[in-house]
Structure 1
């Protein structure tokens, strides 16, 4: 849980005692005043932040605070302590271990398999997992997709999957904010149960962009299409695109500064505001947080999430979702795609550090299962082989084109 409120000094000592591990984050606009006895045992004070790993008491006086608590057994508010609290769940920091944490043994039974045999065995490994309520997904996303991946609990923002933009966690579910995007759309067979709230399949997305994507399957615009919209939405990343049926997530392959028409490979565009549509407001600049490497290319991330769904919920069984991948997707047949596009993206965009961390955290703190395609991207070609792209426009600009 997370609490927010005021502490008022007065009678007695305003002692706050908590049993369990917790973080205390102080609003930087206020001054933390304490005596030597205020921070006991192994507590340490950093800039606006107190971290504790023991179960002894802490005294705090006269401060505005945010307090993240993990697995609190008891909280005692003594003397004249006034508290106004808003609750927000975060994963337990317990030392419990789960089978999914040992990656080598987790996949021990699938060695040497391929095709349907590999798919069936992976299904048996990953399908029995803990599920969340739809409400619990909100808080899970605030942790899993936090702006600061190294300190997700202290991070104030999340990163939207299609916009590649950091926005406040507090905008969750608001019209001007973000909501829960099902990469494998709900209309393609996710009726209820674990598949509906599976965290491997859900990412934060701008409300307008989420609505724009709808239930379109993934793939690049058909080269014959005369209605290919770039970007796919004014709030989406610049290099997204969409037509009547397909949706293309962003990549860091190429970005353009629209004032000079000068292209720089491997960079990204970052909007100053959410006004969108006006590309004069974009600059070639890193985003305002510390993510590095290939994480800005999310096509591979999305491909591996879709493949996970096809394996976890794709084995034909009574009452099952029976999800499948195809180059001719169909809502009626619960088929998503385009399979050839997903296989391609899985190859050209390998798992980043951020994607691997997310997979580890879903395993450790939430569902206690893993996405096998993040750990072993090669499983994709072993299951579906290599599908020749159909009606795709795989266009990678030559060096000369980059400078046009």
Structure 2
């Protein structure tokens, strides 16, 4: 394990540009706490609390986690081949419907430029599939809440490393850092990464023949069903709250693909309620 001698203190930038400011989403509006123009109207999140999350409201700690697990486990499952088309919808560039936005580089790239060449994009398992040895099996291996389009070579650099602050900056992807045992994504997606990891920990708890996935405060977790560093992931979630792109992505998955939600996008405060 490295000593992280190059560790940096992450500071949220003064301005993080929203990737998507206004996108029409099928079925219902993107969940937001912004007030509506009609007096007495309820926000989309409040509506979800009355419907989708009603069995979780008022709970904390393990009870909240258990309730959310039951809620989000009701989902449509995809094959690994179906993930390609799913990502073309979930990660569409709001300014160019022919492109997707790549997670670590932020680059807008053609939806059809996917494959195995170094500058293609491929399917990144944010919860590394070797951490719990679930591979690309239908279930955690195909859950698009944690699968994102990424540059092939940057994906290779991240590999199966845990997440933490520190390391050397990637020349191909400025703002991302890595060392022997960890990877630090660019500031604009730190919260996204954290909330994807924590979604996986709630969704997959040892049922259906898959491992019980849990974050911990370690790095170099290897093939254990754990990813760290939890304390850093909590900081990232608090410092980079959900933006319009992340909210839209959650809604598209709910409306059109898996029909379940990442609760930490709708309720970021639940991170601290579960992992104190």
Q: TM-score range by the shorter chain?
A: 0.7 to 0.9
What secondary structure is seen at the aligned counterpart in 2 of 1:132?
coil
Relative distance call for 1:332 and 1:141 in structure 2 (3 A) is closer
RMSD: 1.9
Which of structures 1 and 2 has the larger relative contact order (alpha carbons within 8 angstroms, sep 6+)?
Answer: 2
Where do 1:95-174 residues align within 5 Å?
103-104=48-49, 105-148=51-94, 155-174=97-116
Q: Does 1:202 align with 2:147?
A: yes
- The answer to whether the 8 Å contact 2:194/2:234 transfers is yes
Relative distance call for 1:378 and 1:230 in structure 2 (3 A) is same
Q: 2:184 aligns with which of 248, 267, 271?
A: 248
2:274 matched residue in structure 1? 383
What secondary structure is seen at the aligned counterpart in 1 of 2:157?
helix
Give the ranges of 4+ consecutive aligned residues of structure 1 lying more than 6 Å apart after TM superposition. none
Deviation at 1:332, TM superposition (A): 4.0
Count of aligned pairs:
230
Structure 1 unmatched runs, 5+? 1-92, 222-227, 252-296, 386-404
| Structure with more helix by fraction | 2
The structure with the larger Rg is: 1
Per-residue deviation, residues 351-381 of structure 1 (Å, max 9, x unmatched): 0011101100000000000000000001110
Q: Does 1:230 align with 2:169?
A: yes
Relative distance call for 1:332 and 1:212 in structure 2 (3 A) is closer
* TM-score normalised per structure 2: 0.79
What secondary structure is seen at the aligned counterpart in 2 of 1:171?
coil
1:341 matched residue in structure 2? 232
What secondary structure is seen at the aligned counterpart in 2 of 1:196?
helix
What secondary structure is seen at the aligned counterpart in 1 of 2:77?
coil
Deviation at 1:304, TM superposition (A): 0.3
Where do 1:296-335 residues align within 5 Å?
297-313=188-204, 315-317=205-207, 319-329=209-219, 330-335=221-226
Structure 2 unmatched runs, 5+? 1-25, 29-43
| Structure with more strand by fraction | 1
Relative distance call for 1:208 and 1:156 in structure 2 (3 A) is same
Deviation at 1:317, TM superposition (A): 4.0
Q: Does 1:177 align with 2:120?
A: yes
- The answer to whether the 8 Å contact 2:129/2:141 transfers is yes
Deviation at 1:174, TM superposition (A): 4.1
* TM-score normalised per structure 1: 0.54
- The answer to whether the 8 Å contact 1:206/1:235 transfers is no
